[in-house]
Amino acid sequence: MQWERVKEYTDIIYERAEGIARVTINRPEVHNAFRPETVAEMIDAFQHIRDDASTGVVIMRGQGNLAFCSGGDQRVRGHGGYVGGDQIPRLNVLDLQRLIRQLPKPVIAAVAGYAIGGGHVLHVCCDLTIAAENAVFGQTGPKVGSFDAGYGIALLSRLVGQKKAKEIWFLCRQYNAQEALQMGLINAVVPLDRLEEESIQWAKEILEKSPIAIRFLKAAFNADTDGAAGLQQLAGDATMLFYMTDEAKEGKNAFLEKRKPDFGKFGRLP
Ligand code: 2NE
């Protein structure tokens, strides 16, 4: 793969090749913990990916082999949130979680090393997770005085069931890749040196499929779990398709031409 840098950032690397976008958290000195600026850059990259018609699948990963992401950077955790250069306390990773969920393209987490704390929730928010044999999964919130009671609870419970999700949060244990696979937390485990290749293979298999079918399926999974926001996503996709029909165009054209719309010419399907 010839990865092309799409945009230059400080804390992340955003590349693309052959219909695949690759977003890498690039802070290996802190096991790829995120600060507000890291998250702002991720949001910018994912917004670009959303509008980029040439991209169909995203691979998200951490720099190096030791960590996918170790959650919020505890060095910049302040009073009421994580504090960046603008001195505003933020939990902007929650915005990123929603963006990953709402992106009309699958996001694959490629996990080498630790996916811990807020980094664990990020992989939970991704559509698929492929782990290297050295991957370690877990939540640390109650140990470090934090928690993510949104997707960190709702989605995790859907994946592994409430008893296991409570164990993960209440005991803050670490789980290896095989344990994660057994509990339905991830999709596959591969040797570390095959993680990249395997993630690309999964992405390519998705890229062979109908983009609109994949888009609707992702929205439907979200509609099942995300309440009105999930329904809105599915409904928005339905509107997008409806706008492509002659029937919808007749409504718009009639308004602009100041005439009564003739919807009678469109048949009604069973
Ligand atoms: C991940 C873990 C278990 C790895 O342990 P180990 O022993 O392999 O590495 P070590 O030495 O702890 O980490 C290497 C370097 O990375 C830094 C460490 O301080 C260390 O730096 P130096 O001492 O070499 O200078 N580092 C690692 N994680 C960091 C972090 N999150 N913030 C800042 N520096 C970090 C072990 O490193 C670990 O337990 N890390 C902390 C995991 C954690 O508690 N994350 C925050 C959870 S809360 C959260 O993410 C959150 C939320 O709950 C709600 C909303 C938003 C975020």
The C-alpha angle with vertex 98 and arms to 94 and 101, in degrees rounded to 5, equals: 140
**pLDDT tens-digit series, residues 159-187:** 999 999 999 999 999 999 999 999 999 99
Residue type, 42: M
Q: What is the mean pLDDT of residues 260-264?
A: 97
Provide the angle, in degrees to the nearest 10, between the axes of the packed helices 211-225 and 151-160.
Answer: 100
Nearest residue (by CA) to ligand 1, atom 33, is 73
CA distance 34 to 56: 25
Nearest residue (by CA) to ligand 1, atom 34, is 30
Q: What is the pLDDT of residue 43?
A: 98
| Mean pLDDT, the chain, whole residue set | 98
ipTM: 0.98
- Provide the pLDDT confidence category of residue 135 given band limits of 50, 70 and 90: very high
Cα torsion for 210, 217, 20, 189, to the nearest 10°? -120
- Of ligand 1's atoms, which has the minimum distance to the CA of residue 140? 44
* Contact call for residues 23 and 46 (beta carbons, < 8 A): yes
**pLDDT tens-digit series, residues 48-58:** 999 999 999 99
Sign of the dihedral defined by the CA atoms of residues 47, 51, 54, 57, in that order: positive
DSSP one-letter string for 49-66: HHH-TT--EEEEEESSSS
DSSP secondary structure code for residue 192 in this structure: G
- Cα of 66 vs centre of ligand 1, distance in Å, is 12
- Of ligand 1's atoms, which has the minimum distance to the CA of residue 119? 50
- Cα of 141 vs centre of ligand 1, distance in Å, is 11
- Provide the pLDDT confidence category of residue 191 given band limits of 50, 70 and 90: very high
**pLDDT tens-digit series, residues 99-130:** 999 999 999 999 999 999 999 999 999 999 99
* Kind and range of the H or E run holding 25: strand 20-25
- Provide the pLDDT confidence category of residue 47 given band limits of 50, 70 and 90: very high
CA distance 124 to 68: 12
* Kind and range of the H or E run holding 80: none
Beta bridge partners of 60: 23, 109
